[in-house]
Chains A and B, each alone.
Chain A
Amino acid sequence: MKNTIQQVFHSRKFVTGFSIFMALLLIVFFYPFLIKDDPLAIIGQGNFFPPGIYVNVYDSLHSTTYILNLDDAAVKRIGNTLGDQERQDIKDWLVAYGIPEDQIDIDNTKQLLTQWEENYDPNISVTDMTFARQRYYERIDTSLKGLLSTEGMIIAKTNPQTGVLEQTDTIEQSEYADISEVANIKVLPLGTDNFGRDVLTELVKATGVSLQIGFIAGTIATLIGLFLGLLSGYVGGLMDDIIMFFTNLFTVIPSFVLLILISFSIGQDNRGASTIAVVIGFTSWVWTARAVRSQVISLRNRDHVNLSKLSGHSTFHIIINDILPYIASYVIMALILQISSAILAEASLSILGLGPRTTEIPTLGLMMNWAMIYQAQILGKWWAYFPVIVMIALITFSLNLMNTGLDQVFNPALRD
């Protein structure tokens, strides 16, 4: 026994899978202690805020200011404000004015601005330009000049006594605030989702719930499969025929169709995470039962089982002591596969809208479902669904890797 465990932990594949899985488990377990936010608290007004560090503007005005004179500050500021369309329009004007196209680089903000400042004159009318278009270029020019001006911005407040706006402060362009001194900063490494919830916190919680569903469903499926497999394999005869009849019945009906029908008939209000787990467990025991049965049949006629019978042991004793240890490795492997397929089944169900009822707990499938309903994939909001996909892939990858590693240990023909 000890020997086997040692061997298992010498398998590189198993150890890799095991470490990934353990890392995921640790994150799921310890993350709520570090970040105590409610995973489903709606913090953002509006949907799909991109990943980043969010600094409170109001607080940053009130924090200590430092003057830093940086040369490229203005260029960066304008560069950040200028959209791709505006850059393209500026280029179009310059080309129409007569500057060779290969001299204009729209990504080089500094060069583009210099060229614009040197050449633009609102009185010059380049060919084929409507009046509206001319006005548009005048507006671009004005806004660029505004950005380039070195005057500060005035902050005014209404005096509560007189009701008159009074200047309270001026912000110079060279003023900086230390980010660590700003009172309110929110780091959203994966942005927010369609409801304005922190995707990372939600993802960790969802991973936990999905793993729970996987464990419950996998354990139920393995236990049912093991029990029926042992019964039909060891007892044989009529019992075997009856059990195999039902097993074949379940094999023929695709389990996913069964899953959809059962989930639908349970109804939206009654579908909690554990209900879904139980339903998944009760529809996926078939292959375990079949595999256990065939293993037991081949073990049943071995000499050590005969010897155990001759020693007067009861059927129960023989099953526990002479059959189970021999198929234990196989059952553990089946359990691992069942867990990973249960997580996938939950994700598939939820993305169809048949998962656990929404707004109470997140699961990996539900997160994908929400992202899909709000068209994150069309709008290019990758942070709403891509991390979920990566997480599902990581879980199933690590579990399958563990399974392959175990397979190599227990099946010497596969060792490399």
Chain B
Amino acid sequence: MADEKKLCLCGSGLTKIYGLGRQKCIAVDHVDFEISECEFVSIVGESGSGKTTLAKMLLGLTKPTEGEIYFQGKKRDISTLRKKKEYWKSIQAIFQDPYSSYNTFNKIDTVLLDCISMRGGRKLPHAKKIDLMEEACSFVNLKFEELTNKYPFELSGGQMQRLMIARIFILKPQILMADEPTSMIDACSRATILDMLMKLRKDIGMTIIFITHDIGLAYYISDCVYIMEHGKIIESGSAEEVILHPKEEYTRRLINDVPKIHEEWDLSSVSYA
């Protein structure tokens, strides 16, 4: 890993346990990681491997049972709502399901206006706000005139997810937690969305933590890959290192499970565990 880079987000011994006694379920098990600034990090693992729980802990939406998170070299402090708000100015998220990410009772304008006021633009004149929203929408190839006064459910899944990116464009956080943002979307929209994310990253110098179960995708886009299995990080390193020369059996299996074009799909190693 590049040592000369500034560390952005670190975790040591992060653990999350749901339930008590017999129903105890260890979702994330003593995870350590270091994420540098402007890095594109992928966390890969199958469903139930604790990726989303890890993401929620990093976002500050759930409290870790054990372990510490260090943000920009200091211990993260989100004990009060005000501190949380400060923290959330620098870390934001895109969720997996665009259909459930929106409050269906609020208009699209509200979603974007909330972001503007979070950036301290609550008292801006109305025309200025509209300008900002238009800029954000045009960045993600959406027309603000067509969206204004509409409800989120009137949009397609791809449009909704692009609007999520527009939200990030306004907020300009230092870290973006993308929790499987493309898994519910068709391949074409997926390429567009990934392209937009990369562009956004280049524009504002953002660290992206990309959670996915698609190891092939992770290879193409990321600098650094973490492989998770049953709440543990079992392998980590640069994308080439991990995916082209996997050390663990589990990683090899994950790579093998990806269907490849022009090749017979080998299902012999698929496990039904």
Contact = CB atoms under 8 A, between A and B. Distances in A.
B88 A304 contact: no
Interface in A139-176: none
B97 A303 contact: yes
B93 A310 contact: yes
A130 interface: no
A188 B121 CA distance: 72
Nearest to A310: B88
A313 B114 contact: yes
B227 to A, nearest CB: 25
A307 B106 CA distance: 13
B105 A325 contact: yes
B250 interface: no
Nearest to A311: B114
Interface in B49-77: 56, 59, 61
A310 B101 contact: no
A76 interface: no
Nearest to B96: A303
B103 A310 contact: no
Interface in A286-310: 302-304, 306-310
A310 B81 contact: no
Interface in B68-103: 81, 84-85, 88-89, 92-93, 95-97, 100-103
Interface residues of B, number: 23
Interface in B197-233: none
A64 interface: no
* B95, B103, B114, B118, most chain A CB atoms within 10 A: B103
Nearest to B95: A303
Contacts of A315: 81
A304 B100 contact: yes
B100 A302 contact: yes
B118 A312 contact: yes
Given A310-B88, A312-B88, A303 B114 contact: no
A321 B106 contact: yes
Nearest to B101: A303
Nearest to B106: A321
Contact of A325 (B56, B95, B103): B103
Nearest to B92: A310
A303 B56 CA distance: 11
B115 A311 contact: yes
B114 A304 contact: no
A249 to B, nearest CB: 23
Interface string B150-176: 000000000000000000000000000
A315 B85 CA distance: 12
Contacts of A303: 95-97, 100-101
B103 A321 contact: yes
Contact of A311 (B56, B95, B105, B118): B118
A14 B106 CA distance: 27
Interface string B229-248: 00000000000000000000
Interface in A258-289: none
B103 A314 contact: no
A322 B103 contact: yes
Contacts of B61: 306, 309-310
The 8 closest A-B pairs by CB, nearest first: A325-B105, A303-B95, A303-B101, A312-B85, A311-B114, A304-B103, A303-B100, A312-B118
30 contacts: A1-B105, A303-B95, A303-B96, A304-B101, A304-B104, A306-B56, A306-B59, A306-B93, A307-B93, A307-B95, A307-B101, A307-B102, A308-B103, A309-B61, A309-B88, A310-B59, A310-B61, A310-B88, A310-B93, A311-B88, A311-B115, A311-B118, A312-B89, A312-B114, A312-B118, A314-B81, A321-B103, A321-B105, A325-B103, A326-B105
Interface of B: 56, 59, 61, 81, 84-85, 88-89, 92-93, 95-97, 100-106, 114-115, 118
Interface of A: 1, 302-304, 306-315, 321-322, 325-326
